[in-house]
């Protein structure tokens, strides 16, 4: 190893020969000349490579590393901004500092100011633009006083809780006590019952979503209080959610499902289970029989689990927008525990609804997973008949108090619609197959027609005032009945006379009644609507229904041709022409038009 040419000190670098050979370069012991041991042995000239200064890399902002660093800095700023918002909202009232729950008061519009947040570009944002909320919101509004809370809680108990009695709020519990014991639930109740002050309701709804999302995903909070508040929020969210229906309809339901799994409500209470035991399917785990561990599970937790399953099942079966929780042996165990305890009358109703939906869910899953054009498999009408028999036996086993409950009766008829609606799809009934079941299909079509009429007759009995506060379950009753009835009035198949069905039933009688109620309520809700606020859900729903009505009239004309005015209305309200809606097997115009575009589409964010 030769000495350094600059200092004369032996260099620590290998010579060129050793470096190329990937060999160890050591000095030759006792050698007087400048050769390493290897070069001395091989009789080669030992030259040290010239020392070069490494060239510094110029900063390249186009690299992925620089982009990621920029994103991290922006996220840090984003979190700091949200903490600043929370800090301001937490100082609204002295009482709000007495506990660690969410804000006691409905937040002022200034609390929803998102313009302080930086613009996020690239894959983190949408077209490098942040939501513009504060630019459209007035800053001079005053938050509601705390003395309004008892009135809002009373309104919720009297007008809204009868529609959704599955989250229990004790009758002797005051607003202040509920605020201390369950601050998140108290907040959701205030939002849902503030329908007379829609600007405040929507501003508070936006802040609620920001706060509960941050609590779950940033600070890692999880509690039964948060889950119950989400159940209440989801039941009426399409009135006040700031998110459009296509984004909101599954997102908030999945948020509730996330809490269910985080709280481990889907499996028995366990202590110190091994990792192998935790991997066992919940459906085959041994269900405890009043063991010491399971006693720790409260009925409120069981009730929240069943309620989350029921709401998810309704959203899955009626809107096809999200997956429901899986029915399991432990879910049935919770049903049995609530039935035996029977602390509230609504517990028996909730258990009956959960068991009813567990019977009808398989039919929709079989439609998507099985091929019914295979002669080696049972035809579709046999599967439908087996589910129908199971549902009928379940109904016969219910006590008379539930059989006379109007909500349970309508839920049963909606279940019949879910069962019989596959009979409308021509592709499931191929005449070339043995046992195609034309006679059985006609019976199922007629049963579907009767069930849709019964559902809509229930809707017709509702007064106009209920359209201000109807829950998502009530609106799904309307949607399910209307969709099935219009399908049946347009279906053309051997033996089914759609013209006679239309003359006998007159579907527009039901349709115009619902559309008129929505239009009246929407007009009243939007009477003093501020310019920054989007139109209400009833207004959007009525407008979409007008487009569907024009489409229906065009289809039922003898020449099946729409007039110029009808075609313009169809295009305006549905976003497509008449030819886009003609396929009877894809007859989902009500899904896309009336509900997916208008349910919850109360986005008050300023549009660019």
52/535 Cα distance (integer angstroms): 71
pLDDT given for residue 224 in this prediction: 94
Q: Please write the tens of the pLDDT for every residue from 500-516.
A: 888 888 899 999 999 99
Radius of gyration of the chain (CA): 33
pLDDT given for residue 59 in this prediction: 55
Which of helix, strand or coil describes residue 235? Answer: helix
In Å, what is the CA distance from 187 to each residue of 208, 335, 472, 508, 521?
8, 28, 19, 40, 25
What are the residue ranges of helices labelled H in 35-110? 37-42, 64-89
pLDDT given for residue 11 in this prediction: 58
pLDDT given for residue 294 in this prediction: 58
pLDDT given for residue 372 in this prediction: 54
Which of helix, strand or coil describes residue 10? Answer: strand
Which of helix, strand or coil describes residue 196? Answer: coil
Tokens of 423: 């009979």
Closest C-alpha to 486, from 476, 478, 495, 475? 478
Which of helix, strand or coil describes residue 273? Answer: coil
Say if residue 463 is exposed, middle or buried (CB neighbours under 10 Å; 0-12, 13-18, 19+): exposed
161/169 Cα distance (integer angstroms): 9
Query: Do the Cβ atoms of 547 and 566 come closer than 8 Å?
Result: no
Check: pTM over 0.75? Answer yes or no. Answer: no
pLDDT given for residue 411 in this prediction: 92
Backbone phi and psi for residue 129, each to the nearest 5 degrees, phi listed first: -125, 140
- First-last CA distance in the chain: 71
pLDDT given for residue 271 in this prediction: 54
205/200 Cα distance (integer angstroms): 8
How many CB atoms sit inside 10 A of residue 482's CB?
24
Backbone phi and psi for residue 531, each to the nearest 5 degrees, phi listed first: -65, -25
Which residues, given as ranges, of the chain have pLDDT below 50?
A: 4-9, 61, 85-147, 246, 273-286, 289-290, 432-436, 558-563, 570, 573-608
């Amino acid at each position: 190893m030769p000495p350094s040419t600059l200092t004369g000190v032996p260099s620590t670098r290998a010579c060129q020969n050793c470096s190329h050979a990937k060999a160890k370069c050591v000095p030759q012991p006792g050698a007087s000349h400048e050769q390493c041991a290897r070069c001395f042995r091989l009789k080669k000239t030992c030259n040290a490579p010239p020392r070069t200064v490494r060239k510094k890399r110029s900063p390249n902002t186009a690299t992925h590393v620089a982009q990621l660093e920029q994103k991290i800095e922006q996220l840090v700023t984003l979190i700091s901004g949200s903490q600043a918002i929370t800090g301001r909202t937490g100082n609204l009232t002295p009482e709000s500092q007495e506990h660690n729950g969410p804000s006691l008061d409905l937040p002022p519009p200034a609390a929803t100011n998102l313009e302080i947040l930086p613009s996020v570009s690239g894959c983190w944002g949408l077209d490098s633009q942040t939501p513009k909320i504060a630019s459209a919101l007035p800053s001079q509004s005053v938050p509601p006083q705390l003395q309004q809370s008892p009135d809002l809680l009373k309104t919720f108990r009297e007008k809204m809780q009868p529609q959704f009695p599955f989250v229990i709020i004790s009758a002797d519990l005051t607003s202040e006590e509920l605020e201390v014991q369950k601050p998140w639930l108290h907040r959701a109740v205030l939002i849902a019952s503030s329908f007379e002050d829609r600007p405040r309701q929507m501003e508070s709804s936006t802040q609620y979503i920001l706060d509960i999302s941050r609590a779950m995903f940033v600070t890692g909070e999880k509690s039964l209080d948060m889950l119950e508040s989400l159940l209440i929020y989801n039941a009426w969210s399409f009135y006040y959610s700031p998110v459009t229906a296509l984004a909101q309809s599954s997102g908030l339901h999945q948020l509730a499902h996330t809490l269910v799994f985080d709280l481990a409500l889907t499996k028995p209470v366990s202590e110190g289970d091994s990792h192998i035991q935790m991997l066992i399917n919940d459906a085959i785990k041994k269900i405890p029989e009043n063991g010491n561990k399971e006693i720790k599970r409260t009925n409120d937790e069981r009730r929240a689990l069943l309620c989350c399953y029921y709401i998810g099942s309704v959203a899955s079966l009626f809107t096809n927008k999200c997956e429901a929780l899986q029915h399991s042996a432990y879910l049935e165990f919770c049903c049995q525990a609530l039935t035996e305890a029977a602390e509230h009358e609504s517990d028996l109703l909730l258990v009956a609804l959960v068991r009813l939906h567990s019977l009808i869910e398989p039919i929709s899953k079989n439609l998507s997973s099985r091929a019914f054009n295979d002669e080696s498999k049972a035809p579709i009408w046999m599967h439908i008949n087996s589910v129908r028999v199971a549902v009928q036996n379940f109904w016969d086993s219910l006590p008379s108090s539930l059989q006379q409950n109007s909500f349970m009766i309508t839920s049963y008829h909606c279940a019949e619609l879910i069962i019989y609606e596959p009979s409308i799809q021509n592709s499931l009934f191929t005449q070339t197959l043995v046992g195609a079941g034309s006679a059985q299909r006609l019976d199922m079509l007629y049963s579907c027609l009767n069930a849709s009429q019964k559902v809509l007759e229930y809707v017709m009995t509702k007064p106009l005032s209920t359209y201000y506060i109807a829950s998502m379950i009530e609106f799904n009753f309307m949607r399910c009945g209307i969709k099935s009835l219009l399908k049946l009035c347009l279906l053309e198949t051997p033996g089914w006379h759609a013209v006679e069905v239309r003359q006998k039933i007159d579907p527009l009688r039901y349709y115009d009644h619902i559309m008129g109620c929505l239009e009246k309520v929407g007009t009243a809700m939007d009477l003093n609507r501020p310019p920054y606020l989007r139109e209400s859900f009833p207004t959007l729903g009525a407008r979409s229904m007008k487009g569907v009505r024009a489409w229906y009239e065009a289809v039922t004309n003898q020449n099946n041709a729409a007039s110029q005015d009808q075609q313009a209305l169809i295009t305006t309200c549905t976003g497509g022409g008449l030819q886009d809606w003609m396929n009877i097997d894809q007859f989902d115009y009500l899904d896309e038009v009336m509900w997916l575009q208008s349910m919850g589409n109360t986005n008050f964010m300023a549009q660019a």
